[in-house]
Amino acid sequence: MVRNYKLTLAYDGTEFAGWQVQPQHSTIQGALADAIARITGERLLPQGSGRTDAGVHALAQVASFAIESPIPAENLLVALNHTLPASIRAIRIEEAAPDFHARHSAKAKSYEYRIFRASICPPFVARYVHHHPFPLDEDAMLRAACFVIGKHDFTSFAAVDPERGKDGEEPDNMRTIYSSEWQREGDLLIYRVRGNGFLHHMVRNLVGTFLLVGKASIKPDCIPALLAARSRSETGPTAPASGLFLASVEY
């Protein structure tokens, strides 16, 4: 009998080349596939809710996979944490409906982007933040963040991917953002965003653009025009991967 599982993972992405398996590179998906194979003898490719890029972390990424092994779920969780490197932890596992798919079944996702504001960044924090100790108008950044709430074409904030749209079809870059805000927690300035889906580099490009707002290079109320332009060249640089966390996936 084949059982389908929903697995929730946390990982420190610093030393991985991202989620997706790649030859010659250490990846989260690859490490998870290896661990499942070591435990069950079954070689398969677990599906993630989406790819995270090299250096991006996860508080709660979700993966799905189907195995024949009769190992009870709670034992599989323990075995995964014995087998995976300490930088990847299996934090929850549950049997899922046969048609559950971590990516196709996802209804919403939340990300966090952490900026460390104090002048000296403790070495125990440096891997998990973007250190930006220079002046920022944080109120302006919060005002700018509000403008992306709702249903928009996010082409201006998507990585320019030479492979997409090659067949002549326009990619569908419409996404709905349910919440988008900056919050201060001590020395951390955290961007939290929740939406029905995100384009490649979208959160980091939004953050890079909000940083331009914080530096007064652009005004908060320019965001609607940047969205309307549907051009990546108008928006800010991609913020560093180290500050980004996939926070949760909803089904």
Binding site for its own copies (CB under 8 A): 10-12, 57, 81, 86-91, 120-124, 126-128, 131
Q: What is the DSSP string of 12-50?
A: -GGGSS-SS--TTS--HHHHHHHHHHHHHS----PEESS
Coil, strand or helix: which one is 89? strand
To the nearest whole angstrom, how small is the minimum distance from the Cβ of residue 114 to its own copies? 11
CB of 126 to its own copies, least distance (A): 4
Contacts of 117 (CB under 8 A, 6+ apart): 132, 133, 136, 187, 188, 189
For the CB of residue 131, give the shortest distance to its own copies in the complex, in Å.
8
Output 9 or 144, the one with its CB closest to its own copies. Answer: 9
Count other Cβ atoms within 10 Å, centred on residue 33. Answer: 19
Based on CB atoms, which residue is closest to its own copies, 79 or 149?
Answer: 79
- Does residue 251 contact residue 106 with C-beta atoms inside 8 Å? yes
The enclosing H or E element of 109 equals strand 108-116
Closest approach of Cβ 57 to its own copies, in Å?
Answer: 7
CB of 80 or CB of 141, closer to its own copies: 80
Q: In the complex with its own copies, which residue's Cβ is closer, 128 or 157?
A: 128
172 included as an active-site residue: no
According to DSSP, the residues that pair with 57 across neighbouring strands are: 245
Considering the candidates 53, 139, 161, 221, report the single residue annotated as catalytic: 53
Which residues are known to be catalytic?
53
